[in-house]
Chains A and B, each alone.
Chain A
Amino acid sequence: MKDTFMKDSYALCGAWSLCVLLAGCGAETSSNAQPDAAAEQTGAIEQTDTPAETDTPLEMDAAVIDDGVVALLKQMTSKVAGLQEFAVTLETGFDVLQPNGQKLEFGSRRTATIRRPDHARFTYQQRSGVAGELVFDGSAIWAYERDQNVYATIEQPGDIDASVDLVTIELGIPVPASDFFAKDPSIALAADVLEAQDLGTSTIDNQPARHIALRKPGVDYQIWISDATLLPVRVVITYHDEPGQPQFWARFLNWETAPTNGDAVFAFSPPEGAESIRFATFDTSESAEEAVP
């Protein structure tokens, strides 16, 4: 009788444990399956956005590219590309979708000082207070963080485009609005355009600017181009195929098209007491995306 009771007890305990295990696996499976479900949902939303859908309003059926918009865009990119040396201040913000579904905004105040073809200095002051800079001196890239007084460097002989790619793709360091600082900004901003619309004149910082809206695979973006200078004064980018459709925005302030910067601006000298550290993704075969989840 006692043996039977013991066996029954063990069997009951085993069954309970199996339930716990299966419940755990079930939870794991459901959490793993969630992104797929979200992806399917995203896909469904995208399908409704296609011009072929019959429910789409008539005016949206015309997925057209306004040639005038593209011409204006290329006027702007040509103007920027023609600036051999310039400096601009940016106020930026971007959304980050949190694990609980809440969308939060972060941002920074930045400056970009460019001397083509291979010198640049970017400074940033995040809203969190973290500040630093990034210097391309033509032969190396230097990253410096002021709070901790540390810097890292990597050899990089090459133009600004190559340096930005190395920094953003391999090192995972964002350089917001870098499309506008490229040797030819039209490659990023005017290629693969699916739709281009003219939304007329807007007032930005009390100055008239043309508001244009464009779509590329994966991104919608709007640019406000100053009537007076043909330079961009504001940009908004929407990553519509990313969860939560986060946006990035930037205001371009204080364009200096003929700055008188000395060579020292594009050189980095470690401040007193600064410690050299390394880039985490340097020397590894893994990509930057893996290091920055």
Chain B
Amino acid sequence: MKLNIKVLVLAVTLGGMVAALTPDFADGARGGARGGGGATRSGPASSGSVNRHSNNRRDRKDNRHDNRREVRHDVRKERHEFREDRVRRHRARHLTYAAFRSLSCRTTVVIVNGISYYGCGGSYYERVYQGGSVVYVIVVPPPGYY
């Protein structure tokens, strides 16, 4: 009985710790939307359009998604699908250029198949265009650098 109570205490305590830590992880995942100085630099008004709420525009988007799906499939083959999959799995973790430069590690650059991989603290990053900015996303290390 004493053992069961100990297990319960341990489980509840760990549960409380995990619950307390979870919001921090969530904030970390959103870090890529922030620029220098920690400020959020994009929002609804950055679009500069009166048409954001138009149903017509959303309909056009849906139609275009359908039309482009086939084109994407062909291009995907040309663009090393294996790499896309790796990036997609890690797309939630990305850093702005300023944030990447401020990392306290010695950056190494590895070029594999024409792609530059930036090694930092055991992780590898790739530069991509996202939302009008160039950001660094964590990817699986390139072949030979696992």
| Chain A contacts to B: CB under 8 angstroms | 3, 6-7, 10-11, 13-14, 17-18, 20-21, 24-25, 27-28, 31, 92, 94-99, 104, 106, 128, 130, 143, 145, 147-148, 150, 152, 155, 162, 165-166, 168-179, 187-189, 191-192, 216-219, 221, 237, 239, 241-242, 246-248, 250, 275-284, 288, 291-293
Contacts and interface: CB of A to CB of B under 8 A. Distances in A.
13 contacts: A17-B16, A18-B12, A20-B16, A94-B45, A96-B43, A143-B129, A148-B127, A172-B132, A173-B131, A177-B49, A218-B52, A280-B135, A283-B79
A247 B41 CA distance: 14
Interface residues of B, number: 64
B104 interface: no
Interface string B11-50: 0110110011011000000100101100111111111111
Main SS of chain A's interface residues? mixed
Contacts of A25: 19
Contacts of A7: 2, 5
B22 A292 contact: no
B29 to A, nearest CB: 9
B130 to A, nearest CB: 4
Contact of A174 (B6, B22, B48, B65): B48
A28 B72 CA distance: 39
Contacts of A104: 39
Given A10-B5, A20-B20, A179 B51 contact: yes
A148 B97 contact: yes
A188 B49 CA distance: 8
B107 interface: no
A150 B134 contact: yes
B9 interface: yes
A246 B131 contact: no
A27 B47 CA distance: 33
A27 B7 CA distance: 26
A246 B127 CA distance: 30
Contact of A21 (B2, B12, B45, B114): B12
Contacts of A172: 130-132
Nearest to A124: B132
